[in-house]
Chains A and B, each alone.
Chain A
């Protein structure tokens, strides 16, 4: 038996209220996903290579995620040089999970 499409839409709309819309643009979603996958932390230069976007766009999106407490910027030493890595926080992981669950509403129905 097929699902009631109105019900799916209702679920989609209702669940969307749980998502922080500021975390939900492609770049921010990708940064959250990448930092969740690479638990070791990722360097700025690696993020830039992965996303292939300008420094300005990357920095602006990183700043928003940091302000929201979704990622942390940590100073590290690599080969005696100081640099920064980015790591997802618990609330960042939770937010990513909410987005994934939201998308899965469509998949399940």
Chain B
């Protein structure tokens, strides 16, 4: 089995997922979840050879699909010997904190993951997009995702993409000002 798939299984294990075997036609949600989480892992820094495209139903990787069909039982049983690195765990934690622990994840997991992955992809390849652009483009690609979920996804993506080095002295000062005002 490729280490690329192993890293994803390790993530699913870390998040204590209980996925149904992706090989069976009716287990569509399992396949959708693996695709979107694998995409987020890769774009947050866990390297893999999977190539994702967005167009309408993405982010989607046909190579990843081939892998989880071939090793379907390992995916369903979360069977892996891969030991996540510190960097992997940081990424798993980030996804858990901002996406999987979100209240909407309980009942709208597929829709939320689809929205977050789509917004993330759009922002990654179009860094100049502002929130209005992200909303409009996501709606164009996925008209069936509800407006409120897209808005929440945009906020989640901002948190996922935030890097501590982005916190400039100027921003810190502004935040401190707000903190003081709250006191």
Residues of B within 8 A of A (CB): 25-29, 31-32, 35, 55-57, 60, 62, 65-66, 69, 107-111, 141-144
Contacts and interface: CB of A to CB of B under 8 A. Distances in A.
B65 A79 contact: no
B143 A49 contact: yes
Contact of B25 (A45, A46, A72, A78): A72
Contacts of A75: 26
In this complex, the interface size class of chain A, counting residues with CB under 8 Å from chain B, is: 20 to 34
Interface of A: 37-43, 45-46, 49-50, 72, 74-80, 85, 87
A49 B144 contact: yes
B109 to A, nearest CB: 6
Contacts of A37: 62
B62 A76 contact: no
B91 to A, nearest CB: 23
A3 to B, nearest CB: 34
A94 B7 CA distance: 34
Given A41-B25, A77-B28, A78-B32, 12 more contacts: A38-B57, A39-B65, A39-B69, A42-B57, A46-B57, A46-B144, A49-B141, A50-B57, A72-B25, A76-B27, A79-B109, A85-B28
A75 B27 CA distance: 10
